[in-house]
Amino acid sequence: MSELTVTIACKKKDGKAFKTTDDVWYNVREAAMIDLKTVDKGDVITITVEKKGTASYVTELINGAVKKEAKETPTTADGSVCEVCGKPVKDGFKKCYTCNKTKATKSEETVENDVPKCTVCGKVLKNPKYPTCYTCKAKVPKTEKKQYVSYDNPEKTARIQRGNALNASAVVASGQSFVTPDGAPDVDGARQYTLMLAEAFLEWLRAE
């Protein structure tokens, strides 16, 4: 193995190799790929190289350019730096303008995502009770609007008609006198009379 100091000319997109300014390509071992991501064109780096046939493989990569930059990074009078990126900040501030703005932007996006929106077009809903806006709801075929099924169905209509017919017959029957020949209340006669009228009224209602 040998140790060299070189300058990067370009990197392969897959991050597995790079070329130096002296037009030499170096393959990068997996252990050094992470370090390769931290450097770019023009950076001076120190590498440990092993030869395998005609190919050269980098087993270790030290980013000298980054170390130099870190030593020369200016700081404020009290040495305050951004807790996120390390840039100098004014006394009393924990983050630089860029990092603080990025956090604010993310918060705004979070708030925006919490706003109820139409599941079809994404429009903000005035009434979060419904999953879709009025326009999208109107476009859905009636057969698919299961959540908006009308209660005026044949079964309910039949029940209402029977109830109305029975009520009407009871009103009429209440004005009649039902007694047996011996003067006792004729309950069966009253019931039969009421049902007879109810059936007549029901037939009339269904004819409508």
Q: Do 90 and 55 share a structural domain?
A: no
Residue 203 has pLDDT above 60, yes or no: yes
How do residues 41-97 score in pLDDT, each as one tens digit? 888 999 999 988 888 899 998 876 444 444 444 555 566 777 777 777 776 677 777
Looking at the structure, do residues 177 and 196 belong to the same domain, yes or no?
yes
Residues 142 and 185 in one domain: no
pLDDT tens for 105-120 read 444 444 455 667 777 8
Tell me the average pLDDT of the chain: 75
Q: pLDDT grade, residue 19 (50/70/90)? A: very high
Between these two residues, 31 and 63, which has the higher pLDDT value? Answer: 31
110/142 same-domain check: no
% pLDDT > 90, the chain: 10
CA distances to 32, 69, 79, 81, 104 from 95, rounded to whole Å, are 31, 20, 13, 7, 12
Look-up: residue for tokens 């039949």? 158
Of 142 and 93, more confident = 93
Domain boundaries, position 29: 2-67
- Is 139 found in the same domain as 165? no
What's the structural domain count of the chain? Answer: 4
Same domain, 93 and 82: yes
Q: How far apart are CA 47 and CA 32, in angstroms?
A: 9
Kind of pairing, strands 17-20 and 2-11? antiparallel
pTM for the full model? 0.32
Collapsing DSSP states into helix, strand and coil, what is residue 63? Answer: coil
Together in a domain, 47 and 95: no
- CATH number of the domain at 15, please: 2.40.50.320
pLDDT of residue 153: 66
Kindly give the pairing relationship between strand 25-28 and strand 55-62. Answer: parallel
